[in-house]
């Protein structure tokens, strides 16, 4: 696995870089024999150091985690530990779901945009400016699997195609810790036994 260690507005010495590379490689290799790549970024945040880790463990599967501490070693170790816990939950889920032995879910590509907020002086008719554009994968998933992807990637929102009816669905992280679920295609109160409207976060 290729590991990249970066520092924003701070230097990352060889000793710290080696420590992070070895720790991250050991943590991920417990669960995936051939992970693709990983990046850990250290950033000063007031009196703390924030560590953001992103691991591409497989095709269309990204794990993200973050942590903050006064020491860069501790921040990195805690972020890697959070990522490892998410990977461990995912692997446990794979063992429990016998249907995972089938083909990979369908994936299609769609554009994703990051919009700059409007300035207070801007006229009411002004539109936000697009500051970033990328392609993201929209997978066909069951709702529990989509919740797992949301948890793995530490994402605020995830769009996917419902595995039963093929319609576009959205799940999102609520302020109370639960997961909201938007299913425009669902007319019944349940789909394959799944409660509509609110889901608990993946354990």
pLDDT of 167-194, one tens digit each? 888 888 887 777 888 888 554 444 444 4
pLDDT band at 195 (very low <50, low <70, confident <90, very high): very low
What's the pLDDT at 105? 53
> Cα angle vertex 128, ends 127, 129, to 5°?
115
Regarding the domain delimited by 105-199, which CATH topology (the fold level of the hierarchy) does it fall under?
SHC Adaptor Protein (3.30.505)
pLDDT tens sequence across 41-95 = 999 988 999 999 998 887 777 888 999 999 999 999 999 999 998 888 888 877 7
Structure token pair of residue 187: 């007319």
Write the DSSP symbol of residue 98. Answer: G
Alpha-helical (H) ranges within 30-165 are: 72-96, 143-153
Between 3.90.1300.10, 3.40.190.150, 3.30.160.100, 2.30.33.40, what CATH number should domain 2-98 receive?
Answer: 3.30.160.100
pLDDT of res. 134: 53
Structure tokens at 63: 């794990």
Residue-wise DSSP of 103-121 = PPPPEEEEEEEEEEPPPTT
Cα–Cα distance measured from residue 69 to residue 192, given in angstroms and rounded to the nearest whole number: 43
- β-strand partners of 44: 49
Write down the pLDDT at residue 40: 94
Span of 60-74, 112-126, 127-141 with lowest mean pLDDT: 112-126
Query: What does the pLDDT read at residue 77?
Result: 96
Q: Tokens at residue 159, please?
A: 């769009």
Distance CA 44, CA 49 (A): 5
Q: Domain map of the chain by residue range?
A: 2-98, 105-199
Q: Which is nearest to 99 in space by CA: 192, 202, 203?
A: 192
Q: Is the pLDDT of residue 129 over 80?
A: no
Q: Which of 133, 134, 128, 100 is nearest to 115 (CA)?
A: 128
What's the count of helices (H) and strands (E) in the chain, helices before strands?
3, 12
């Amino acid at each position: 696995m290729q590991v990249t260690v970066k520092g924003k507005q701070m230097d990352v010495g060889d000793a710290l870089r080696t420590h992070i590379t070895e720790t991250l490689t050991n943590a991920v290799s417990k669960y995936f024999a051939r992970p693709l790549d990983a990046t850990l970024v250290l950033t000063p945040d007031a009196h703390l150091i924030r560590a953001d880790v992103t691991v591409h463990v497989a095709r269309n599967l990204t794990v993200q985690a973050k942590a903050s501490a006064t020491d860069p070693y501790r921040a990195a170790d805690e972020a890697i530990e959070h990522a490892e816990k998410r990977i461990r939950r995912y692997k446990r889920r794979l063992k429990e779901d016998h249907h995972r032995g089938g083909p990979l879910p369908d994936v299609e590509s769609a554009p994703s945009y990051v919009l700059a907020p409007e300035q207070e002086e801007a006229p009411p008719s002004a539109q936000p400016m697009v500051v970033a554009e990328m392609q993201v994968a929209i997978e066909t998933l069951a709702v529990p699997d989509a919740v797992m992807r949301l948890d793995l990637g530490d994402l605020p929102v995830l769009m996917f195609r419902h595995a039963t009816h093929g319609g576009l669905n959205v799940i999102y992280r609520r302020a109370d810790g639960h997961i909201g679920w938007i299913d425009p295609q669902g007319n019944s109160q349940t789909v394959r036994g799944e409660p509509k409207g609110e889901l608990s976060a993946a354990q």
